[in-house]
Chains A and B, each alone.
Chain A
Amino acid sequence: MFRNQYDTDVTTWSPAGRLFQVEYAMEAVKQGSAAVGLRSRTHVVLATVNKAASDLSSHQRKVFKIDDHVGVAIAGLTADGRVLSRYLRNECINHSFVYEAPLPVGRLVVRLADKAQVCTQRSWKRPYGVGLLVAGLDELGAHLYYNCPSGNYFEYQAFAIGSRSQAAKTYLERRFEAFDKYSAEELIKDALFAIKETLQGEKLTSSICTVAIVGIGEPFHIISEQAVQEMVDALETREEATAEQSGGDMQDESGNPDAAAPMEEI
């Protein structure tokens, strides 16, 4: 995107009918590290790439449990993501308190979208710079939503956000039609494969990714690093056995703009 006029504040339309500040906020999501989500009829899996800023630091949390039946994975400004997670948790707790029942995920994402929309129509605010993949359950089953800074939200069978997410999306587009009938283990495997696609040749280990799952009869939880590593190892042996090229076709190394913009998370 190039320098635009009419982009100084969020309450100024461009002559072409665009709100540039909102679009810039969506750019922030694209700069964050990848997150993917996949859904079957009964389960939803979220997986994220967690890169630490340096060997000295810990990596940022990108997956948050919101309630027993809902979790989110974020990409973009993690501080915004953390604050929104707190909001989502509060909404779930308040609903449960009054109705003694879990807040259906479809209602939760609408509230989140409305909150994001407010920031696109106030001159003293800025849009949230974070995209959320919301995984959750309601009476009808499992759902995966994507909430973006614009205040829009969409439901998906599978989706990927963040940097190099296009590689993951291409992979998912090939496979998504089978997802509905997948078991939890198969979903997790495909999530790991999708994450692998975004790494472009870098080795996938459980120390650089986080995997979480929620399903009917299975409360939202983050899968332990050990269990993830076992699945990653199983993937690799399967890969070698079938001699199938499941690695990305992109040859270029990651001499990539990790040189960050100031507010950016890794």
Chain B
Amino acid sequence: MRVLALAALMFAFGMAVASAGTLEQVKARGYLGCGVNEGTPGFSTPDAKGNWTGLDVDYCRGIAAAIFNDKTKVRFTPTASQERFAALQAGQFEVLSRNTTWTMDRDVSLGLEFIGVDFYDGQGFMVPKKLGIKSALELNNAVVCTQTGTTTELNAADFFRTHKMKYKILVYQKEAEYLAAYDMGRCDADTTDKSGLYGDRLRLKNPEDHVVLPETISKEPLGPSVRQGDPRWADLCRWVLFALINAEELGITSKNADAMRNSPSPEIRRLLGKEGAFGRSLGLTDDWAYRIIKQVGNYGEIFERNFGMQTPLKIERGLNNLWTKGGLMYAPPIR
């Protein structure tokens, strides 16, 4: 019942209202607080030694690199889906980077601010192959399992209502239990973000016995968020994300970042801090983006490292490709 404790905290001391000066606080403290998932492959997973990897993790490391020139100066706080917003509101960390869908309600009534999209996803269903189902439209009167505190619960309800199908939904607090229940056949289908389904599948007893159905039933733009009230902090976090995407578009990678600093291209020179005072206006040094790319790589590198064909997840870039390559990743220019 961490939520209860958090609510009590909020009640007793008022919220940790994000005041101007988050950056100064973080600098003074010496590390960034980053709320992540308790363990979903691709987004954030700790290894046995407590080292975190994943897209959501790398994004926070990028912020740390920009601020401290040291991508390791991050403290990760794992949060369950149900408690993530309360934890951000209560001031347990400065950035929530936890495969979280940007929805209107969350944006306008939870006191948080979404700063962009780092993974375009959509909800799907996974079923055991032996059920013999080829399409989500054959799921009439199915039992579906998912996790509480997600957009998933509502999307599933919408989907079955829209298609006039009956269903039963089982919502568990923790991913471990709902995966176990699905694996033991308590439910006909597992439903969540498709990226999550691929991650879930890896953790089943026999992953090859399960298929992800083709339908995508919702839009799940996943992205980081911060507390409302400190626009400068939100700006900083937003431009870290844009820097990652722009770097990929400009062909700057962790490997060639040093050489690229001598590039004649004005766009590249601006991003890497050779021209203009962009870093200073964020409260950072002008080589902020160089530090990020040098230490964590550009968006494409991060994606490949965590979801790509070299990983067990083997997720295609698809919508997450650059806009120039048929995807949706598009960042405003640095100028």
A binds B: no
